[in-house]
Amino acid sequence: MGRATLIGFSAVAMWALLALLTDASGQVPPFLLSAITFSIGTGVGLVARLFMPAPDKSQRIPPQVWLIGIAGLFGYHFFYFTALRNAPAVEASLIAYLWPLLIVLGSALMPGEKLAWNHVVGALLGLAGTVLIVTKGGGLAFDARYAFGYAMAAVCAVLWSSYSLLSRRFPSVPTSIVTWFCAATAVLSLACHLALEQTVLPDGAGQWLAVLGLGLMPVGAAFYAWDIGVKRGNIQVLGAASYAAPLLSTLVLIAAGVAEPSLRILAACVLITGGAALAAKSLFLRKPAAESGARASQSGAGA
């Protein structure tokens, strides 16, 4: 479980590159960028199949898995772009970023899962750190005029948390299925682009390299890693640790010279890191507890 959790967290680390690479990709409209990068993400899955055991062709994929996967990947991006078009970016992003908290709380409803106080408090600390990052230490101004945009952002949070939790109910479905989720998302994004946007392609090698980087990592390998994490890892820890994404993203922007360091970022770092460590408390203590129990059992048997 620990290894799968770490693989899942690698997706969070890759998502930290999203802001930097998106900014470097130029003026490509959102749905076109989504279509291109998810096409590359599909290629990541196809290449990975060359190095993985061949999937069992006799295995029947339940129809609901297709619905969950496509709604999760395409639906999240569709409603996120819609939210940004209809509400201020700060408030919309913060609402959309409720999904880690929803994962932690929703995990209590999953078979074999138990929600503990440290999972909830850890997720709330992470949320507090995210508020500092997203608002840049300023206030929030929810305006009724943007209610539609706020609602779309809330749909984002519900969709991604639901995708993550429901994927866990199908642990036997191979991660290679994400390849086709990416392909469907690319096709649907292209359709939205043709219907809603003007075509603006990346300008120059630098922007094309940024788009390639997006497709290989944040919009490619990250989704495969996340699938492994939510199916086989500790989903409460993953949910709380996911709040590290906006912090890591900000640190990447600072390293790239796009953003400036501040006490606010340090405070967010303490909150998010502390929250993730608190949520993972049981994971850290599980092995020593098990060894202690084993020694006690042996002692009892010797008596």
Burial class (CB in 10 A: 0-12, 13-18, 19+), 189: buried
Model confidence at 303: pLDDT above 70: no
For range 132-138, the mean pLDDT: 80
77 to each of 138, 160, 163, 192, how far by Cα in Å? 26, 10, 13, 11
Lowest mean pLDDT among 2-6, 98-102, 291-295: 291-295
Q: What mean pLDDT value characterizes the chain? A: 88
Sign of torsion over alpha carbons 231, 104, 267, 143: positive
Per-residue pLDDT of 71-125, as tens digits, reads 999 999 999 999 989 988 888 888 888 899 899 888 888 877 788 888 889 899 9
pLDDT at residue 299 in the model: 43
- Specify the residue for token string 């943007």: 146
105 token code pair:
């709380």
Q: Which pLDDT band, with edges at 50, 70 and 90, does 278 fall under?
A: confident
Model confidence at 38: pLDDT above 70: yes
Which segments within 71-211 are labelled E, that is strand? none
- Distance (Å, whole) CA 172 – CA 278: 30
pLDDT at residue 276 in the model: 85
- Distance (Å, whole) CA 247 – CA 15: 11
Spatial neighbors of 175 by CB under 8 A, at least 6 apart, are 224, 227, 228, 231
Q: Which of 108-117, 122-131, 139-148 has the highest mean pLDDT?
A: 122-131
pLDDT at residue 181 in the model: 97
Per-residue pLDDT of 162-207, as tens digits, reads 999 999 999 999 999 999 999 999 999 999 999 999 999 999 999 9
DSSP H helical segments within 50-177, as ranges? 63-70, 76-86, 89-96, 99-106, 117-135, 147-167
Whether residue 214 contacts residue 37, with contact meaning beta carbons closer than 8 Å, is answered with yes
Candidates 42, 34, 54; CA nearest to 181 is 42
Q: What percent of the chain has pLDDT over 90?
A: 55
Opening angle at CA 63, ends 42 and 177, nearest 5: 25
